[in-house]
Structure 1
């Protein structure tokens, strides 16, 4: 797979964006979503998401639940 090198601007100078080399455990013709877990800049595992699976923050999940009509209490 060939990708274009992106650049970022730092103090008015364009520099190449850092690239983390990772190997994903999917077939070469895979199309879909993958969650990757990084520790200290290294990919330690990856997991393919199935069509029925979704990823959200807790706040995002609660907002979605409210939009669906659920009553969500704030307990602190």
Structure 2
């Protein structure tokens, strides 16, 4: 069995109130927190593949739309 090496501990400062209870997403780069964001009660995180799979299970159609909101040159 391979022996585990020393574990690095990354201290994190969160920008939330002391009485905060909830979920927070952290973006960590090179051991440093780049940003943190509180998740609202109705927000959930999943991969794009999981989202597409859930949509297909609910029989939702997913279509790719070309261009953006300003792609119509006649407006």
Q: TM-score, normalised by structure 1?
A: 0.67
| Off by >6 Å, runs of 4+ in structure 1 | none
Residue 18 in 1 paired to residue 8 in 2?
Answer: yes
Query: Please, which moves more after superposition, 41-50 or 27-36?
Result: 27-36
Question: Which residue, out of 45, 51, 57, partners 1:55?
Answer: 45
RMSD over equivalenced CA pairs, Å: 2.3
Unaligned runs of 5+ in 1: 1-9
- CA-to-aligned-CA distance 1:2-40 (integer Å, 9 cap, x gap): xxxxxxxx82x3555322111111122222111101111
* CA distance in 2 between partners of 1:60 and 1:19 (Å): 31
Point out the structure with max Rg over C-alpha: 2
Taking structure 2 as the reference length, the TM-score comes to 0.67
In proportion to residue count, which structure has more strand?
A: 1
